[in-house]
Amino acid sequence: MRFLEIFKQLNQIPRPSHHEERVANFLCRFAEQLGLEYERDAQNCVVIRKAATPGHENATPVVILNHMDMVCVAEPGRTFDPLNDAIVAREDNGWLKADGTSLGADNGIGLSMALAILEDDNIVHGPLEVITTTNEEDGMSGAAALSPQFLRGRKVINLDSEDYDTITTGAAGAYLQMHHLPLKRIAVESNLLSWLRVTVEGGRGGHSGVDINKGRASATILILRLLSLLGNEIKLDVADIDAGQASASIASRATAIIGVGSDCREQIESMVERFNQKLGEEYGTTDPGVHCVVTAAEAQERFIDAADIKALLTAVANIPQGVVKMSETMPGTVETSNNVGRITTEENEFTVSTHTRSFVEADMVALGKEIRDTFASCGATSEVLMEAPAWQENPHSDFLQLTSDTFNDVLGWRPRMVAMHFVLEAGFFVQKYPGIEMASIGPRIVEPHSTSERVELSTCHDIWRVTIELLRRLA
């Protein structure tokens, strides 16, 4: 299929969040080569417009929505520069996977379908707009900054969905914060310390929305728990903490460099062994691969003041990780959650990201404030990077019923209509473009935002067929 060829081209272009310039350039060139009208805004969002198929000029304009960025993560030990390296995909028993990194099927497959539609003059459609936003995965700043004049259509096919058998009719809101906790470094005076690298690895990780209720281990939480455990029994100096790879992911790997007395190595290893036994008891069913290892580390010249380590441990220990509340009105659906995605050690501060989601805006904002207050009590300052509104479509609308009928007629079955605990840009679109209607569909993508991300190829072909037929019916 042509869209898979385009996806391969797309994966040659590095496109982590906040660095979408090259993808935007690609989209503009794509439009120019086809002789199509396009606009590009200051956030690098791009809309490409294609006139209706002759005879369908009076049809209702239709919008196809995608985002151009992806969550970039790599397997431990793999050399991967998300700003410069391509994604290498391979087919495996009917699935498309990446070689040691996340795949970018979220949302690259949907974007590739949209571009293939623009390219194919045999597809029947009314006036068409293909809009591609930026920074969807780490702040939604592209959608938030869209001009009210940027989009003309009001019926939107959003191809940013991972549940093949579902029309997503609602999405949680999101509240992304970055917390800055000051730290002081102290010169190492003793040359008798043994420096060790403690690593939590092997966890499944995953999407901090759709996977948050699956019992996945957060390496970010576990590395701090282990440091607290070790520090209660052994005098240790912490030189560095690096946990998680993306705010929107459940961390699968975290490391800390610690200095201990040279006679403590055996005790450390014994404690880590007991810690691993405890992990087996906690995650043996839901995340059986997660474990901790201890290796030698290079000698350090400075370590972090113990009071600052304690402040970090206290702050994170007093905020929730995972499901906070299940919905009472949508059985089996997470209503509110929080994820501690990343912890990095800078020269003078720790930075900690928290990603709070909820279908209830007041609860989301209140939990965000509680988290911010908790960090403030430990000496931190915080900034809100994103406050994305929740979204709920009317499942009985004519547009969604038409979409459901199209699934049934093309594939022989009706999809579920479900609100999902991930965040979509739909809330911003509803705010900015009154009267907008949205149907969110997509192929089966498993483990997005992780190195296990994969997309089932047969479902890609099915969603392509549904989308083409839906465009014809809307024309």
Active site residues: 69, 136
CB-based burial of residue 274 (10 Å sphere; 0-12 exposed, 13-18 middle, 19+ buried)? exposed
Q: Is 54 in contact with 124 (CB distance < 8 Å)?
A: no
The whole-angstrom separation of Cα 394 and Cα 399 is 9
Give which of 182, 27, 136, 17 is closest to 83, Cα–Cα: 17
The whole-angstrom separation of Cα 137 and Cα 143 is 11
Partnered with residue 129 across adjacent β-strands are 49, 63
The whole-angstrom separation of Cα 369 and Cα 258 is 32
In this structure, are strands 236-243 and 254-261 parallel, antiparallel, or unpaired? Answer: antiparallel
Taking residue 152's Cβ as centre, other Cβ atoms within 10 Å add up to: 12
CB-based burial of residue 396 (10 Å sphere; 0-12 exposed, 13-18 middle, 19+ buried)? exposed
Taking residue 465's Cβ as centre, other Cβ atoms within 10 Å add up to: 14
The residue type of 464 is: W
Q: Which two tokens stand for residue 381?
A: 């300052």
In the structure, how many helices (H) and strands (E) does the chain have?
Answer: 11, 26
Question: What's the gap between Cα 47 and its chain centre?
Answer: 23
The residue type of 304 is: I
Q: Is 350 in contact with 312 (CB distance < 8 Å)?
A: yes
